[in-house]
Structure 1
Amino acid sequence: MAFTSQFFTADHHFGHQRMLENRPFADTDEMDRALIDAWNSVVRDTDIVWHLGDFSYHSEARTKTIFDQLKGRKRLLLGNHDVDNRGDIRKSIAGLAWDQPPTHYAETKLDGDRIILNHYSQRTWNASVHGSWHLYGHSHGRLPAYGRSRDCGVDCGDVGYAPASFKVLTAALRDAEVVA
């Protein structure tokens, strides 16, 4: 049986022209390729990747082409760009072979740590007073970490545009707890 790792990421915005304002790519084709390569550099086919929203801005066909190039078993926490104005999942997102049906909220456990997942940052979250962790996207690395909560999106300086492990994402937060 293959060892399975879990990774967390958000805010790829594949094909979204406005992302080029804050990313070092000449065009969306270059951005998409770099994001695919970064993803596949850390994720294996058997790994689980929790994508915390805002997956793609492309057409249904182009989104599927990108999705199919990404390694791992992909799970989506819906972001504001993954739904239409009525709150329904965009057709380009809904038809993909997600490992689980896309949802707005999820929880997982890793090595005894309870992790709360959402596209949006929260000031308090389920079991926050009992030591749970909270990972989110949406803010593109502009919100500072808060307690046991942090942005895991591709625009955060410490992830190199790639999905990251829980251990990597929480290392600095754990160090801050030790100091406090």
Structure 2
Amino acid sequence: MPRRQSWFTADPHIGHLKVAELRGFTDVEDHDAELARRWDAAVTDVDLVWVLGDLSAGGKGAQLRALRWLAERPGTKRLIAGNHDGVHPMHRDATALLPDYLKVFESVGLAARRRIGGVEVLLSHFPYQDSTDPADTHNRYEQWRLPNLGVWLLHGHTHSGQRVRGHAIHVGVDAWELGPVPLSAVAELLPTPG
């Protein structure tokens, strides 16, 4: 049996025309097909993929289409919800689509804690409250951002091409050639413990 690998990704924005155009595509079909190709080429059925938010553009129909797209991708998926995900508690009816999300995701949460190569790492859709990324909109969603207490953070949200800033690693597809990031690549960016 193949060994299980872990992957991280964020901000696929399946079916989101504006984001597809910003990424150089003329339509969502080509955009979504390219993201599927890159996911399918990397991830196997036994792998675990952490999706750090913003699966679609939002809206019930868009989310259901994106969930169908994701259900066709290999791997076990866990979601850290973002602002475009209807299951995030910032949305008034956050529980309405939860049963649909749980058909695709093994778990749905706002944050998680992992240990990668002996280094404690937090997972969140949003960068830290004190983010200095110029692509980040300051003070937006401030109540949902974790405080920076010196622990490394994996995040999405910014759509920046920069992978590392301070104690934060951006795992969004915009920084990783539109594909998921293997745990080994994240480990290489983290300090050696000790």
What TM-score does the superposition give when structure 1 sets the normalisation length?
0.81
Matched, 1:155 2:174: yes
Match of 1:169 among 170, 183, 186: 186
Superposition pairs for residues 120-135 of structure 1, below 5 Å?
Answer: 120-122=126-128, 123=130, 128-129=149-150, 132-135=151-154
RMSD: 2.7
User: Which stretch shows the higher mean deviation, 160-169 or 37-46?
Assistant: 160-169
User: Which stretch shows the higher mean deviation, 134-143 or 34-43?
Assistant: 134-143
Give 2:109's aligned residue: 103
Q: How many residues align?
A: 170
Deviations 1:37-89 (A, max 9, x none): 11111111111100100012353552233022111110100000002741615
**CA–CA distance in 2 between the matches of 1:90 and 1:30?**
30
Amino acid at match of 2:178: Y
* Unmatched 5+ stretches in structure 2: 132-145
Percent identity, please: 29
Superposition pairs for residues 27-176 of structure 1, below 5 Å?
Answer: 27-57=27-57, 58-59=61-62, 61-83=64-86, 85-86=91-92, 88=94, 91=97, 94-100=101-107, 102-122=108-128, 123=130, 128-129=149-150, 132-141=151-160, 145-156=164-175, 159-169=176-186, 171-172=188-189, 174=191
User: Counterpart of 2:36 in 1: which secondary structure?
Assistant: helix
**CA–CA distance in 2 between the matches of 1:32 and 1:90?**
25
Describe the shift of the 1:87–1:143 C-alpha distance in structure 2 as closer, same or farther (beyond 3 A): farther
What TM-score does the superposition give when structure 2 sets the normalisation length?
0.75
Amino acid at match of 2:123: L
Amino acid at match of 2:122: I
* Unmatched 5+ stretches in structure 1: 176-180
Contact between 2:55 and 2:63, CA under 8 Å: does it hold in 1? Answer: no
